[in-house]
Structure 1
Amino acid sequence: MKYTLEQSRVLSGLTQREMAKNMRMSEKTYIQYEKYRRVFRMDQGYRFAQNVNVPFDSIIFFAGQLQNFCS
């Protein structure tokens, strides 16, 4: 099963503010990632997966068109 960034965060019981702090970024910046307006670098994606305790390959890091382009 695949999870969006938001679903992964909620599953782990973290708020956007807590996740932003864990990711060492502002809450505003984190929200842009969660809304797929920005894309995590690989190291950030790995850190995100560790924070939410969801396997890296079970998280959807790209939205719609970008995901199709990268496949």
Structure 2
Amino acid sequence: MQYTLEQARILAGLTQREMAKKMKMSEKTYIQYEKYRRVFRMDQAYLFMKHVNVPFDSIIFFAGQLQKFCSSDEMTCTI
């Protein structure tokens, strides 16, 4: 199963504010990542994965991956 950044965060029971604090960034900046307006560097992606406890290859980190995921027959999503 693939998870968007938002889905992975919610699965971990964290708010955007809590995740931003864990990632050592402002809430506004974190939200830009979650809306796929920014892309995590590899070290940030690894830190995110550790906080949400979801395998790295199960998280959608890039908008290109998101388009493929959202257009599948299994699930629809809007960002």
TM above 0.5: yes
Name the SS of the counterpart of 2:54 in structure 1: coil
Q: CA RMSD in A?
A: 1.8
Question: What is the CA–CA distance in structure 2 between the aligned matches of 1:50 and 1:65, rounded to whole Å?
Answer: 20
Which residue in 2 is equivalent to 1:17? 17
Q: CA deviation at 1:34?
A: 0.1
Question: What is the CA–CA distance in structure 2 between the aligned matches of 1:22 and 1:34, rounded to whole Å?
Answer: 14
TM-score by length of 2: 0.81
Question: What is the CA–CA distance in structure 2 between the aligned matches of 1:47 and 1:40, rounded to whole Å?
Answer: 10
Identity, in percent, stands at 82
Q: CA deviation at 1:66?
A: 8.6
What does residue range 1-71 of structure 1 map to in structure 2 within 5 Å?
1-64=1-64
**Structure 2: tracts of 5 or more residues without a match:** 69-79
Q: CA deviation at 1:65?
A: 7.5
Q: CA deviation at 1:64?
A: 3.1
User: How has the CA–CA distance of structure 1 residues 64 and 27 changed in structure 2, closer, same or farther, with 3 Å as cutoff?
Assistant: same
Letter in 2 for 1:36: Y
User: Any idea what the Cα deviations from partners look like across 1:32-70, whole Å, max 9, x if unmatched?
Assistant: 0000000000000000000000001100000138977xx
Question: What is the CA–CA distance in structure 2 between the aligned matches of 1:56 and 1:46, rounded to whole Å?
Answer: 7
Question: What is the CA–CA distance in structure 1 between the aligned matches of 2:65 and 2:55, rounded to whole Å?
Answer: 23
